Structure 1
């Protein structure tokens, strides 16, 4: 399915070029608001996922709106994600999230505000790790 055929609840936005170095595959970003709270609509093409990363101090909340995806914390089993799922990511937890290999996936990324909050981007999710998930 092409981007113009994928219908998301919120506007898909443009290619996520600013963060492309932290993703395997193509993602799209539309910031919905940056006033008082940062909320971005992130869309992943099939197979796209972000690198392992850590939200220092504030954490993040994912509100899944479209398609099928995955979320995984370091050292824990992967979670399948569907529309309506909510993921509360505490600060200082190494994790990644992205689309299933055969589905587009969209979530709202809510950055939990905190003084000194930052993101630390780490290594990519390897092709081997990701390929194992497709059998789930």
Structure 2
């Protein structure tokens, strides 16, 4: 058994960069352990992940704000406080904040993450229209 205590006093949030569009911050809840990683992720309005897949899937639990989750080939679906999203292994997707709201979710990633291309602004607007 391992216990991961809450965020240490004075610990800084991590700015996320090359696999995200917009300003995104994360606080690790549990470092990669046994193929599982947990992060609290804060997206500013309109910020989002790039397209990606997970080796064994991903669970998103929305804590605050509103946003979108989108599977490749489909329209984005709205998510809000209290929602839990299950993304199966290998399903290409992105997720992020609505254009007019921040989004805070807890991301539980199972297995490795395969980061892919950015979700360009035009594609984001079309998917969320």
TM value normalised by structure 2: 0.83
Decide whether the 8 Å contact of 1:51 with 1:124 is kept in 2: yes
Partner of 2:29: 32
**1:15 shift after superposition:** 3.6
User: CA–CA distance in 2 between the matches of 1:92 and 1:38?
Assistant: 17
Matched length: 118
Q: 1:71 to 1:31 in 2, by over 3 A?
A: same
What are the ranges of 5 or more consecutive residues in structure 2 without an aligned counterpart? 1-5
Cα RMSD of the aligned pairs, angstroms, is 1.9
**Is contact 1:15-1:26 (8 Å) kept?**
no
Give the 3 Å change call, closer, same or farther, for CA 55–134 of structure 1 in structure 2: closer
User: What's the CA shift string for 1:32-74, capped at 9, x where partnerless?
Assistant: 1235642110000111001000112x11100001001000001
Asked if 1 retains the 8 angstrom alpha-carbon contact of 2:75 and 2:127, the reply is: no
C-alpha distance in 2, partners of 1:91/1:83?
24
Q: Deviations over 1:87-109 (max 9, x none)?
A: 00110000000001111101000
Correspondence for 2:116: 122
Name stretches of at least 5 consecutive residues in structure 1 with no aligned partner: 1-9
Task: Give the C-alpha shift of residue 134 in structure 1.
Answer: 5.2
Please tell me whether residue 90 in structure 1 is matched to residue 91 in structure 2. Answer: no
